[in-house]
Amino acid sequence: MNKKTEAMDGNTAAAHIAYGLSDQAFIYPITPSSPMGELADMWSAQGRKNVFGRVVDVTEMQSEGGAAGALHGSLAAGTLSTTFTASQGLLLMLPNMFKISGELLPTVFHVASRAIAGQALSIFGDHSDVMACRTTGFALLSSGSVQEIMDLAVVAHISTIESRIPFCHFFEGFRLSHEINTIEKIEYKELNDLINKDIIEKIRTRGLNPEHPHMRGTSQGPDVYFQLVESSNKYYDELADKVQNVMDRVAKLTGRQYQLFDYVGSDDAERIVVVMGSGAAPLEEIISKFGHKEKIGLIKCRLYRPFSKKHFLKALPKSVKKICVLDRTKESGSLGEPLFLDVSTAVKKTNIDVIGGRYGLGSKDFTPAMALAVFDNLKQKEPLENFTVGITDDVTHKSLKINQEIDTVPEGTQQCLFWGMGSDGTVGANKNAIKIIVDNTSLYGQGYFSYSAHKSGGISISHLRFGSKKIHSPYLIQNADYIACHNKSYVDKYDLLNKAKFGSIFVLNSPWNSIDELEQNLPSSLKHKIAEKHLKFFNIDASSIADKVGLAGRINMIMQAVFFHLSGVLDSKKAIDLLKKTIEKEYSKKGEDVVKKNKEGVDESIRNLHEIKYPQKWIECEIEDPKKTQDLPIFIKEIFNPMAKLEGDLIPVSKFPEAGFIPLGTSKYDKRGIAEKVPNWNPKTCIQCNFCSVVCPHAAIRPFLINPETKKPKNFETTRTKGTKEDLEFRIQVSPLDCTGCSLCVNTCPTKSLEMKPLHDMKDQIENWNFAVNLPIRNDLFKRESIKGSQFHQPLLEFSGACAGCGETPYVKLLTQLFGEQMVVANATGCSSIWGGSYPNCPYSTNRFSHGPAWANSLFEDNAEFGLGIAKGIQNQRNSLLLLVNDLLQSNSDIGELKDLFNDWINNFNDLRKSKELSEKIKVELSEYLDKNQNKDLNINNLLQEIFQKKDLFSKRSQWIIGGDGWAYDIGFGGLDHVLASGEDVNILVLDTEVYSNTGGQSSKSTPRSGVAKFAAKGKNTCKKDLGLIATSYENVYVASVSLANMTHLIKCLVEAEKYKGPSLIIAYSPCIEHGIKLGMGSQVKEQQLAIETGYWPLFHFDPNFHLIGKNPFVYDSKKPKKDLIDLLKHETRFSSLLKTFPQEAIKKHNLLKDDIQRRHEKYLQLSQLFQSKLK
């Protein structure tokens, strides 16, 4: 390698060039493109200069629609601007994309291309989003590797400047945007030669300028519009040659030559595949392995729009007889997918047969075996057309059969797999390992990280490759030389070794150092595989070593040391020295002590690594029978369990319920057991307040009431129930396997009646939990609308995938305890749709009558409107039932007791509780009546039958519209505002984490001034938007600002909001891991208390009905702040970190934040007085 190489991911490569060649960027977060915006924002905050010597001006907008609009304006002014996006984000930009190309404005959109939400959201990569913009007039340029992203980003920027045609430069989300690979970086100074300053000056002078004004964006009639559309043809006609010219110039700079269509394969190829993006690599590997005997080849399409037939035909070998076009998108109902249609048109006048197929949707892996299946299909006399590859389609039988995986990575490449926990540092350590190896050797490295959907305790699998030859292979490791399992519980859950090569290394982190312990604890299937594959097996008790050296729980450095010692990627001694140097560099900021502990950890790890000499008879171990599953629901057996074992790829199409529906209550089958410690209850000191149950984010601790006569399990201790005369026993029961170990319950208990105990000492509680949840439910003794009483109602949100200690879930859980069986939820995209609806986990569940929240997610931006639509739809259906019942009553027929019931129901039509009560009675009476009175009066009978059919509409719905602050304050604000103004009876709950939590913590308009968030690296400049106050201005909206730290106020407001016959808005303070609460999420309720006491979070409620009864509608429930804001700022790194990164800004902005809070306090006092004075 003669050039300087660096390991980086695709997003960094794109952002590096975009930043260098732009003056402005307009950004909005969307996975997996957000890191590009984050890097641009950070570089700008750090004062990094672009190619033109200027700091790029980066602006976060309220949505991608906003970003595209602002970008359009900036381009109209003659500025070089860029943006980054994906999926729905790109779709929101569509209208402006037409405008931008129509006005011939040069720009580049960098797109980490991703699936589009349809039957489900998917954050993973394919080309669906980009293919949805192929009519916009943007040039579409595709990159297929991290190196290509850097190179073709340059091609896109220079080409747009020189051609006036805007570009969309895209690469597959996650697979390429997040893959780390060794690439040659292009430095800014090298780009100077490519830039034509005169052309850039022309772009500037074409901009809107009153000194030489022009008008654009007119409206035109049928006489001229068409001609003007056609007038830009020449720019498109010239574009392909221009792009090729830029590619040639970039090649001179980098030595890497690209063509618009690159051909790879034998010169006399008869069968070729056409593909775009990273899918080319496995096909190329197959060609280099088998190409010499098979006449096969591949065309990589780089410039997809405009599609140059001339260049395509030039790239096509004359010998080709058959073409298979692979598309990474699906266009339901079309004759074929888009690339297929283009290629078919291009070869129209030849004798070549063209077939099409789909692969890799939503990042489905595309492996060499699949690539081979594609070539094999093409070989058939009658190849399968319009096929899929990578799935088993046993419904329409369109899928290709895949044979065994083949190893096509360059010889000598070391392939390593690491099984870690989502947040245990494994991924960070592996990224570090790549850096150490790439920076210090001539080896190439590649890293890809796959995660499960759980926000805490989910699994992460790191796929690392190293070798002396360049590594492309953009697919998961199929043949590993080294496998490490960082978590002992995985031995029972996953098939850890199915990708292990014969004779490879397997390292387990477990306390079982001896063969006896391993004999006892390893499942026989794992033992069988170890022996069968002749693995070199090592065990290390990394957790004990971490404890011993003072790194409690942090095993990543230890496991990394083991990797360097065993893997042979580097000489062991050299590797360990490098690791120690990295420790010094990385941790010196944290103090000498931390450096010392980590170095000790490294030394101890080598000393305490045990090679396990297992008996060869392990090969005889049974591959055990699958656990008994006959009693499980079909969805759990056929979908949930295979997915939980990471075998979802193997589920055939026929097994899935259509349209992405899932039944409620599936997450209770998860039983992850991820907590190290779980709470243990002391009945002697417990005062039965039920606070622990209220705050638990995962519904893993609940109070139960038991008849003393009931036979209980041995350790099921109880105490006499307080506050009732009935002779009942009380118990707080934890579910150890559902608890995340956050300790929020322990920290909230006012009498210290809970303490955390190691999970292994609490195993008997599993049986206790199973016993408790099957007890008869007694929720009739205490008022449902109270802290204590609400907790005897089954939470219909249980065991979600939220982070340990999450501040959002307790509110929604409480809502389900108050109204769950009648709830309908429209949920915005955000954390609440991810912890609430990640297939196949449904944490929303049903009560014993199978009633529970009906939940749906539309999009991020439209949730308020979606919820309004649902509410109006249901209202409409209920009204039609009302008409039928009225018709019946007016007929004066003799319907016995039903008459009174129906009249009662009409009078309580909009009463949540009463309509439900009457609904249940009517259902029984009506059913009996119909049984007994068949055919007496045909008309009446028909009417009754019709009413009976609609019986599920008798009870009123509790309509909730739920989402985060990113939705409510920013992207969805327009819709939310409209719904507030509509006067309709809907309830809106804003889970205010003050950042976009789900996408990694970007700033929203709810972020407080000085708060450090992504996209606000220097601390937010402006003050938090006062959404509550804005809503009160309608004067007919119920508004409340609440916190879990004041439960009485919270419940009161939720109940009032539900009852209010009009729109209501509840803004709920929701601490999040992104706040960096220094004492951990286990103290987030205390942190909320502090927020209230410092005045940081206000409590108020505004009830328009109070006017009617002569009461002040605006009640400011907060007391005068009694603690200094500094106490809170010190506690949370989102504030304190600014003191380190930008100390001067920090002091200024913290003071301004203090002023903001003081001003708000005064404003609320005045408002309250104003309303009061109006009453007099």
Q: State yes or no: 1023 annotated in a binding site.
A: no
Cβ nearer to ligand SF4, comparing 377 with 1003: 1003
Element (H, E) at 703: strand 701-706
Cβ nearer to ligand SF4, comparing 278 with 1041: 1041
Residue from the set 272, 742, 864, 885 that interacts with ligand SF4 by CB under 6 A: 742
> Cα 950 from chain centroid?
37
Q: Choose the one of ligand TPP, ligand SF4, none that binds residue 967, judging by a C-beta under 5 to 8 angstroms depending on kind.
A: ligand TPP
Cβ nearer to ligand SF4, comparing 283 with 674: 674
Residue from the set 9, 670, 808, 970 that interacts with ligand SF4 by CB under 6 A: 808
745 binds ligand SF4 (CB under 6 A): yes
Helices (H), 507-591: 515-521, 524-532, 542-549, 556-567, 572-587
Burial class (CB in 10 A: 0-12, 13-18, 19+), 293: exposed
CA 3 – CA 185 distance, rounded (Å):
8
Cβ nearer to ligand TPP, comparing 557 with 834: 834
Q: Choose the one of ligand TPP, ligand SF4, none that binds residue 999, judging by a C-beta under 5 to 8 angstroms depending on kind.
A: ligand TPP
831 binds ligand SF4 (CB under 6 A): yes
Contact window for ligand SF4 (CB under 6 A) among 631-639, 743-751, 790-798, 1044-1052: 743-751
Task: State in angstroms the smallest separation of the CB of 740 from ligand SF4.
Answer: 4
3-state secondary structure 923-987: HHHHHHHHHHCCCCCHHHHHHHHHHHHCHHHCCCCEEEEEEEHHHHHHHCHHHHHHHHHHCCCCE
Q: Choose the one of ligand TPP, ligand SF4, none that binds residue 829, judging by a C-beta under 5 to 8 angstroms depending on kind.
A: ligand TPP
- Out of 64, 294, 865, 1132, which one is annotated catalytic? 64
Task: Number of residues interacting with ligand SF4: please give it, by CB under 6 A.
Answer: 26
In the block, tokens 């995209």 appear at 829
Cβ nearer to ligand SF4, comparing 672 with 1024: 672
Neighbours of 217 (CB within 10 A): 9
CA 1018 – CA 1014 distance, rounded (Å):
9
For residues 99 and 639, the answer to whether their CB atoms sit within 8 Å is no
Task: State in angstroms the smallest separation of the CB of 1070 from ligand SF4.
Answer: 6
Number of continuous H segments (helices) and E segments (strands) in the chain: 43, 37
Cβ nearer to ligand SF4, comparing 482 with 996: 996
Task: State in angstroms the smallest separation of the CB of 747 from ligand SF4.
Answer: 9
* 3-state class percentages of the chain: helix first, strand second, coil last, to nearest 5: 45, 15, 40
Helices (H), 46-182: 64-76, 87-102, 128-131, 146-163
Nearest 5°: CA angle at 330, between 326 and 335? 80
696 binds ligand SF4 (CB under 6 A): yes
Q: What is the dihedral of CA 1129, 1130, 1131, 1132, to 10 degrees?
A: 60
Q: How far is CA 716 from CA 129, 734, 740, 848, 945, in A?
A: 55, 11, 22, 23, 49
Residue from the set 277, 420, 741, 837 that interacts with ligand SF4 by CB under 6 A: 741
Q: State yes or no: 749 annotated in a binding site.
A: yes
Q: How far is CA 909 from CA 221, 495, 816, 821, in A?
A: 53, 55, 21, 17
Cβ nearer to ligand SF4, comparing 20 with 1071: 1071
Q: State yes or no: 803 annotated in a binding site.
A: yes
Q: State yes or no: 739 annotated in a binding site.
A: yes
CA 759 – CA 674 distance, rounded (Å):
9
Cβ nearer to ligand TPP, comparing 63 with 415: 63
Tokens representing 988 are 């809106």
Q: State yes or no: 621 annotated in a binding site.
A: no
Site residues for ligand SF4, 206-225, by CB under 6 A, read none
Q: Choose the one of ligand SF4, ligand TPP, none that binds residue 1132, judging by a C-beta under 5 to 8 angstroms depending on kind.
A: none
998 is catalytic: yes
The binding track of 698-717 with respect to ligand SF4, each residue x by CB under 6 A or -, is x-xx----------------
CA 1065 – CA 1054 distance, rounded (Å):
10
810 binds ligand SF4 (CB under 6 A): no
Chain positions contacting ligand TPP, by CB under 6 A? 29-30, 64, 88-89, 92, 808, 828-832, 860-861, 963-967, 991, 993, 996-999, 1004
806 binds ligand SF4 (CB under 6 A): yes
Q: State yes or no: 745 annotated in a binding site.
A: yes
Cβ nearer to ligand TPP, comparing 842 with 1073: 1073
Which amino acid, 396?
T
For residues 151 and 164, the answer to whether their CB atoms sit within 8 Å is no
- Out of 114, 702, 878, 1160, which one is annotated catalytic? 114
Nearest 5°: CA angle at 374, between 369 and 378? 140
Q: State yes or no: 1072 annotated in a binding site.
A: yes
Q: Is the dihedral of CA 663, 669, 670, 676 positive or negative?
A: positive
* HSE value, Cβ hemisphere, 13 Å, CA-based, for 728: 21
Burial class (CB in 10 A: 0-12, 13-18, 19+), 600: middle
Contact window for ligand SF4 (CB under 6 A) among 477-485, 798-806, 843-851, 883-891: 798-806
Contact window for ligand SF4 (CB under 6 A) among 91-99, 201-209, 335-343, 738-746: 738-746
Site residues for ligand SF4, 988-1017, by CB under 6 A, read 993, 997
Cβ nearer to ligand SF4, comparing 74 with 832: 832
Residue from the set 734, 870, 1051, 1057 that interacts with ligand SF4 by CB under 6 A: 734
Contact window for ligand SF4 (CB under 6 A) among 435-443, 479-487, 692-700, 885-893: 692-700
114 is catalytic: yes
Task: State in angstroms the smallest separation of the CB of 741 from ligand SF4.
Answer: 5
Query: Angle of helix 863-890 relative to helix 898-907, nearest 10 degrees?
Result: 140
CA 797 – CA 784 distance, rounded (Å):
17
Cβ nearer to ligand TPP, comparing 594 with 856: 856
Task: State in angstroms the smallest separation of the CB of 1083 from ligand SF4.
Answer: 12
Nearest residue to 155 (alpha-carbon basis) of 347, 314, 44, 302: 302
Residue from the set 206, 311, 455, 1160 that interacts with ligand SF4 by CB under 6 A: 455
Q: Choose the one of ligand TPP, ligand SF4, none that binds residue 160, judging by a C-beta under 5 to 8 angstroms depending on kind.
A: none
- Out of 748, 809, 998, 1112, which one is annotated catalytic? 998
Q: State yes or no: 842 annotated in a binding site.
A: no
Rg (CA), the chain: 32
Nearest residue to 833 (alpha-carbon basis) of 810, 811, 856: 856
Name, in order, each residue with C-beta under 8 angstroms of 12's C-beta and a sequence gap of 6 or more.
35, 39
Of all residues in the shown chain, the one whose CB is closest to ligand TPP is 964
Q: Choose the one of ligand SF4, ligand TPP, none that binds residue 963, judging by a C-beta under 5 to 8 angstroms depending on kind.
A: ligand TPP
Q: State yes or no: 133 annotated in a binding site.
A: no
Nearest 5°: CA angle at 689, between 685 and 692? 90
Residue from the set 13, 71, 191, 739 that interacts with ligand SF4 by CB under 6 A: 739
Task: State in angstroms the smallest separation of the CB of 175 from ligand SF4.
Answer: 24
Q: Enumerate the β-bridge partners of residue 527.
A: none
DSSP, collapsed to helix, strand or coil, labels residue 162 as: helix
Neighbours of 783 (CB within 10 A): 10
The binding track of 1038-1077 with respect to ligand SF4, each residue x by CB under 6 A or -, is ----------------------------------xxx---
Residue ranges of the binding site for [4Fe-4S] cluster: 686, 689, 692, 696, 739, 742, 745, 749, 803, 806, 831, 1072
Contact residues toward ligand SF4 (CB under 6 A) are: 455, 678-679, 696, 698, 700-701, 734, 739-745, 802-803, 806, 808, 831, 835, 993, 997, 1072-1074
Q: Which residues are catalytic?
A: 31, 64, 114, 998
